[in-house]
Amino acid sequence: MLASALVAQETPTSSSPNSIDALVSMALANNAELKSFEAEVAVAMGREFRQRAVFWVERGRIEVVSCENGERKFVGLWEERFRLWSDKPGYRIYVIRLESEVRKAKRFRVANPLAREDAECLYVGMTICSAEERFAQHKRGYKACAFVRKHGLSLAPDLFPGNDLLPLEAAKKLEVDHAEYLRGQGYAVWQK
């Protein structure tokens, strides 16, 4: 079989295209199946570039193929290993305490028509950073909410909905839901 012939054969270590051409010629001479041939070319290229292994994806299966002996090891399914960036957990929800001066802003009052006058004022946001870093960014003016930049006092970790990292869509939903929950608890909340 081509696989054993290619593994047993000494592979050139130069990066010249002739070594790959020789492999192609040998595979065609042995009437190898195209898929097996492609895998062997990938392994040979891995050897040429002094790699220990290459990844091989076929029908959604991911395998690591040793460039030393051609041994294959199943490492997972494409759909499980590779997700869209937005599907990867990496977002968290945070809460910031605001000065009561923020109530003077009409936008804030309109967003909190049922808030009591003595209710604590909060901002609820979502970030990929740590909550501490995101608070510092707001205060510096980087992608900042004006209410937090001007009236932000401190983080309110006791009011965070948790520390779990979430995918983007789940985090967007939780940000809105948590702001509504806090409003229901009597807080005056800004969330954009």
Quote the tokens at residue 81: 């290993």
pLDDT in tens, 29-52: 554 444 566 777 777 877 777 888
DSSP-derived 3-state class of residue 64? strand
C-alpha dist (Å) from residue 82 to 76, 85, 86 = 10, 9, 11
What is the structure's pLDDT at 92? Answer: 95
Of 171, 192, 174, nearest to 87 (Cα)? 171
Task: Using DSSP bridges, classify how beta strands 92-98 and 152-155 pair: parallel, antiparallel or unpaired.
Answer: antiparallel
pLDDT in tens, 133-152: 999 999 999 999 999 999 99
pLDDT in tens, 57-102: 888 888 888 888 888 888 877 776 666 666 778 899 999 999 999 9
Q: pTM higher than 0.75, yes or no?
A: no
